[in-house]
Amino acid sequence: MKTVRMLRAVLLLLSVTLLSQLPNLAGEAGHPELFSQSPALGVANEEMRLSGQTDEEGGFFLALPWPGVFARGRLRNSTGALGHTFFDLILRFRGSGLRTPEEVRGFRLEVPRFLPKDIERFTVLVSGSETHFLLGEVQVEEAELHWDPARPLRWEDFRGEPPAGSHWEGAQIHLSLSWTGEWEIRFDRGRGVWVARLVSVATFNTMDRAKSWVLPHAKTAEVLNHEQRHFDLNEVYRRLLDLSLRKFLGTEVTGRTREEAEEKLKALLNAAFERVTSKCQEIQRRYDRETDYGRNLQKQREWDRMISEWLLDPLRAPQP
């Protein structure tokens, strides 16, 4: 008998870009607001959070915290309906301090693995004793951005909320290296053992746009290039990870039980994953240290050249 198992392992990398000078907040209109708590983060008396789940076709019908008041809509992404998907619906109120249906000014929809969606246009339908907020079809964008040589980073990709007090930290990029694998497990009657064999593997280098952020005064070409090179470095080690894991394709591991054979194979794969990602973290830290987080322009140019060479031939990069 053969069965296929899957595993996903993820390494998260955070890179912070520091500013060489503290911005003059008093002299720049709007900047003081950057360090106050955003309504999206839960300001008291201005919003209310509810949880729900869509049906098979992506529709939702959520009871709001007043008798006979509901919110309805349909959730989808770029490829179709998001059925059986958990979400949070945040109600936003006007500044009067009253939490009544009449004071609702908008909504925010938060779905795991997708960017938050603000909803400011909706219809209020009153039918007898019931009130329905009709949100319509809500399309959300995937939060993960896969590395693509034809699609460099843009400041619009940094959608996260800066943490309070981010005076010296101008930007932060949230990256991950991950892999998935499939293997078959069978019982070898001749040897009396269970056999696990790797049949496929895939690796990924992604940026989480919902968790990456930038302050307005840090949106320079130099800072964006520094963050792009972090993403490029991740891609170098994704390719090395791919080479490392593919060496195990067809490898058979035996065990006295199904679980033992499977665990032995996963241990081999995870050990290779740890070796590559550990080296990746080391080189990412070295990159920040030697370029002084992008502030040393000469060193930054040197690293730009090295990373470009490593992308052409990952075997020239520092090896795990």
135-156 pLDDT, tens digit per residue, is 999 999 999 999 999 999 999 9
Task: Return the CA Rg of the chain.
Answer: 25
State mean pLDDT over 232-250: 97
Helix, strand, coil percentages in the chain from 3-state DSSP, rounded to 5: 30, 35, 30
Cα 123 from Cα 103, distance rounded (Å): 14
Given pLDDT bands bounded at 50, 70 and 90, which one contains residue 34?
Answer: very low
Contact present, 10 and 176 (Cβ < 8 Å): yes
Measuring CA to CA, which residue among 144, 122, 123 is closest to residue 12? 144
pLDDT at residue number 9: 55
In the chain, the percentage of residues whose pLDDT exceeds 70 is: 85
Given pLDDT bands bounded at 50, 70 and 90, which one contains residue 205?
Answer: very high
pLDDT at residue number 29: 27
CA 76 and chain centroid, separation = 18
pLDDT single digits (tens) 99-132 = 999 999 999 999 998 989 999 999 999 999 999 9
Comparing 27-41, 59-73, 91-105, 306-320, the range with the smallest average pLDDT is: 27-41
**Beta pairing, strands 3-18 & 213-214:** unpaired
Q: Is the pLDDT of residue 224 over 70?
A: yes
pLDDT at residue number 269: 94
Cα 181 from Cα 56, distance rounded (Å): 28
pLDDT single digits (tens) 173-204 = 999 999 999 999 999 999 999 999 999 999 99
Please report the DSSP string for 190-238 in residue order. Answer: TTTEEEEEEEEEEEEEEEETTT-EE-GGG--HHHHHHHHHHHHHHHHHH
pLDDT at residue number 13: 60
Contact present, 30 and 294 (Cβ < 8 Å): no
State mean pLDDT over 229-257: 96
Cα 132 from Cα 248, distance rounded (Å): 56
Contact present, 172 and 213 (Cβ < 8 Å): yes
pLDDT at residue number 46: 76
Cα 71 from Cα 55, distance rounded (Å): 14
pLDDT at residue number 25: 29
Contact present, 191 and 202 (Cβ < 8 Å): no
pTM as predicted: 0.76
In the chain, the percentage of residues whose pLDDT exceeds 90 is: 77
Please report the DSSP string for 128-166 in residue order. Answer: TTEEEEEEEEEE--BSEEE--TTS---GGG--SPPPTT-
CA separation (Å) from 111 to 19, 42, 88, 114, 298?
32, 16, 7, 5, 42
pLDDT at residue number 27: 29
pLDDT at residue number 20: 45
Given pLDDT bands bounded at 50, 70 and 90, which one contains residue 221?
Answer: very high
State mean pLDDT over 30-42: 27
